[in-house]
Amino acid sequence: MDRWNWVMVRAFGPAAVALLVAMLTMAILSHWQATPLLAELMVVGRWIPLLALVASLWLLLAPIYRLWQWQRGKGPNCPRCDGPLGYERAGYASRGGAYRRCYACGDNVNHRHYE
């Protein structure tokens, strides 16, 4: 696969997984209504697909915004391949602290290189 295809997989993969979880929980919950024992759990269970859909929407919009900023030249770049960087993650202080993962090459980039 081309490296720019990997950018899309790394950026939008979590949103696809959250959408899959939402669809699977809707399918499972549709069978729960037929069972009297599990029908009482539907009060709480019906919120799971909605929360998964909201999470998938957030996981879709955040990378779109990040990629748009990178394309305009305002987002952080990878010093190794010049690809877009993902969200900031907390890192160990002994290893340099916060870092971002590159969507293109998968390299971890320390916060000193993109601030």
User: How do residues 93-106 score in pLDDT, each as one tens digit?
Assistant: 777 788 988 888 88
92, exposed or middle or buried, with CB in 10 Å at 0-12, 13-18, 19+? exposed
Task: Give the number of C-alpha atoms closer than 13 A to the C-alpha of residue 19, restricted to the C-beta side.
Answer: 10
Mean pLDDT of the chain: 84
pLDDT value at residue 1: 57
How far is 7 from 106, CA to CA, in rounded Å?
Answer: 9
Mark the ranges of the chain whose per-residue pLDDT is less than 50: none
